[in-house]
């Protein structure tokens, strides 16, 4: 197994041995199967070079955006049998190489996959089947968060902003820095919620704690912030103490399902993706339980265009237990409870820009990250971040902020002008 040098979080299967005797000339059948794979992908402008230097072009008349090089016959068959999982594994392990820009390559692949390809039953079964079998129990949820977020604060410091905000930023102007954009995002959410001094806020999923501190420091509210990541909560508590905000901010190392009390405001930024589809009803009931009769809230989440399980490689290697809700599923969380949606905004392009900043910073520190983990880890995370840019920039994924209030609460401004006033 290819493990990182410290903790072994990236669980790529053990590099298999290549039998050189089996790597003879590719057969006509194998050529046809690779053409079928390209057809299945929607014929993106792509060229594949097999281990024997055979070149296979898609039916797309455009100039290839990249060339995929497969190192062996075994890699080809793994790709044919389960592309959704094995492309990521073999790219990470170095058995698939790409001549070309990874982000642009993925963008072309996603654009080539129209609705007919995305809904293919074989894709739903073979590529995404593992996602159907997992449920986020309290224990499993903690393990899943540990897998991704407890890689070590030093790792995330290398490529996140100085506040360690690991969610979509908001760019008032495309040219502003990531630091400026993350602070603008936090302030945008506060303005949408209309926070007032002395109000109580509960935050479900607080990351390294920056947003809770921002709300307390700039709006004078009292915040209880929940997170199951030990590393993140430890960091957040230490920071709150350094900034003398422990009287306004309490960090709780616990699952959102164990939130108690009543609050004026409920907010969740970047956590619904980790809730799991089977727990959406529980998530809504929790909001209903903890939100006061005149309360309001906001959910900020990545969203997909139709209900589909998470890609197998992403689910198994990067974000175990995750599920990306559709806009309808996000709204359905609120339908059974005494709440109504009053505003929805899509920040898709802001997330594409955020991920571009992350990838650039990640690449700037690739040597340090390789020393911390290994080359397979770096290749996997580069694939993950490039895939995020490609998904958001091609409209394959969205980022919604949903503002809601209790039914009958009229205290929402008539326009959005208040959000953009200095």
**Side-chain-facing half-sphere of 93: CA atoms under 13 Å:** 23
Say whether 190 is catalytic: no
DSSP string, 114-164: -HHHHT-HHIIIIITGGGGG----HHHHHHHHHHHHTS-HHHHHTTS-TT-
Q: Which two tokens stand for residue 1?
A: 């197994």
**CB-based contact 82:312 (threshold 8 Å):** yes
State how far the Cα of 241 lies from the Cα of 237, in Å rounded to an integer. Answer: 6
- DSSP classification of residue 22: G
pTM, entire model: 0.89
User: By three-state DSSP, how is residue 184 classified?
Assistant: helix
Mean pLDDT computed over every residue of the chain: 88
Q: For the domain bounded by 138-420, which CATH number is listed?
A: 3.40.50.150
From 190, 339, 355, 388, active-site residue: 388
Closest CA to 348 of 190, 214, 171: 171
* Start-to-end CA span in the chain (Å): 53
Q: For the domain bounded by 20-133, which CATH number is listed?
A: 3.30.1050
| pLDDT at position 135 | 57
| pLDDT at position 145 | 46
Number of Cβ within 10 Å of residue 368's Cβ equals 13
> What pLDDT digit, counting tens, does each position of 260-299 carry?
999 999 999 999 999 999 999 999 999 999 999 999 999 9
Confidence check: pLDDT of 78 > 50: yes
> What pLDDT digit, counting tens, does each position of 81-127 carry?
999 999 999 999 999 999 999 999 999 999 998 654 444 433 433 33
- DSSP classification of residue 94: T
> What pLDDT digit, counting tens, does each position of 325-371 carry?
999 999 999 999 999 999 999 999 999 999 999 999 999 999 999 99
> What pLDDT digit, counting tens, does each position of 292-320 carry?
999 999 999 999 999 998 899 998 888 88
Cα dihedral 253, 255, 256, 258 in deg (nearest 10): -100
Domain borders along the chain are: 20-133, 138-420
Q: 132 falls in which pLDDT band (50, 70, 90)?
A: very low
Confidence check: pLDDT of 6 > 80: no
| pLDDT at position 21 | 45
| pLDDT at position 347 | 99
Confidence check: pLDDT of 46 > 80: yes
Contacts of 17 (CB under 8 A, 6+ apart): none
Determine what percent of the chain is predicted with pLDDT higher than 70: 85
**Side-chain-facing half-sphere of 54: CA atoms under 13 Å:** 18
Give yes or no on whether 20-133 and 138-420 have one common fold: no
> What pLDDT digit, counting tens, does each position of 368-422 carry?
999 999 999 999 999 999 999 999 999 999 999 999 999 877 667 888 888 887 6
State how far the Cα of 160 lies from the Cα of 355, in Å rounded to an integer. Answer: 10
| pLDDT at position 319 | 83
Q: Comparing 104 with 8, which gets the higher pLDDT?
A: 104
**Side-chain-facing half-sphere of 219: CA atoms under 13 Å:** 24
Contacts of 122 (CB under 8 A, 6+ apart): none
| pLDDT at position 136 | 53
Confidence check: pLDDT of 249 > 80: yes
Q: 227 falls in which pLDDT band (50, 70, 90)?
A: very high
Q: 133 falls in which pLDDT band (50, 70, 90)?
A: very low
């Amino acid at each position: 197994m290819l493990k990182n040098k410290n903790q072994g979080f990236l669980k790529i299967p053990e590099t298999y041995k290549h039998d050189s005797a089996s790597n003879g000339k590719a057969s006509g059948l194998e050529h046809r199967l690779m053409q079928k794979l390209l057809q299945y992908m929607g014929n993106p402008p792509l060229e594949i070079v097999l281990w024997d230097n055979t070149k296979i072009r898609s039916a797309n008349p455009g100039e290839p955006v990249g060339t995929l090089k497969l190192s062996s016959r075994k890699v080809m068959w793994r790709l044919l049998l389960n592309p959704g999982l094995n492309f990521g594994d073999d790219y990470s392990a170095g058995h698939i190489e790409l001549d070309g820009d990874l982000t642009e390559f993925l963008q072309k692949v996603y654009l080539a996959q129209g609705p007919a390809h995305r809904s293919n039953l074989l894709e739903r079964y073979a590529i995404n089947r593992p996602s159907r079998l997992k449920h986020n129990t309290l224990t499993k949820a903690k393990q899943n968060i540990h897998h991704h977020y407890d890689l070590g604060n030093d790792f995330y410091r290398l490529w996140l902003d100085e506040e360690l905000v690991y969610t979509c930023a908001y760019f008032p102007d495309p040219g502003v820095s990531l630091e400026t954009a993350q602070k603008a995002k936090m302030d945008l959410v506060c303005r949408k919620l209309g926070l007032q001094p002395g109000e109580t806020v509960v935050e479900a999923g607080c990351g390294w704690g920056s947003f809770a501190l921002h709300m307390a420091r700039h709006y004078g509210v009292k915040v209880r912030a929940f997170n199951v990541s030990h590393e993140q909560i430890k960091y957040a508590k230490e920071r709150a103490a350094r900034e003398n905000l422990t009287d306004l901010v309490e960090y709780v190392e616990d699952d959102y399902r164990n939130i108690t009390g009543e609050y004026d405001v409920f907010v969740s930024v970047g956590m619904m993706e980790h809730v799991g589809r089977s727990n959406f009803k529980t998530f809504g009931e929790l909001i209903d339980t903890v939100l006061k009769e005149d309360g309001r809230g906001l959910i900020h989440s990545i969203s997909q265009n139709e209900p589909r399980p998470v890609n197998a490689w992403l689910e198994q290697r990067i974000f175990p237990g995750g599920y990306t809700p559709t806009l309808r599923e996000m709204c359905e969380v609120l339908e059974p409870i005494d709440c109504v949606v009053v505003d929805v905004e899509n920040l898709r392009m802001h997330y594409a820009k955020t991920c571009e900043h992350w990838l650039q910073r990640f690449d700037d520190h690739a040597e340090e990250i390789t020393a911390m983990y290994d080359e397979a880890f770096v290749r996997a995370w580069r694939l993950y971040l490039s895939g995020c840019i490609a998904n958001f920039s091609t409209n394959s994924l969205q980022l919604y902020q949903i503002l809601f209030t209790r039914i009958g609460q009229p205290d929402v401004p008539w326009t959005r002008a208040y959000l953009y006033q200095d």
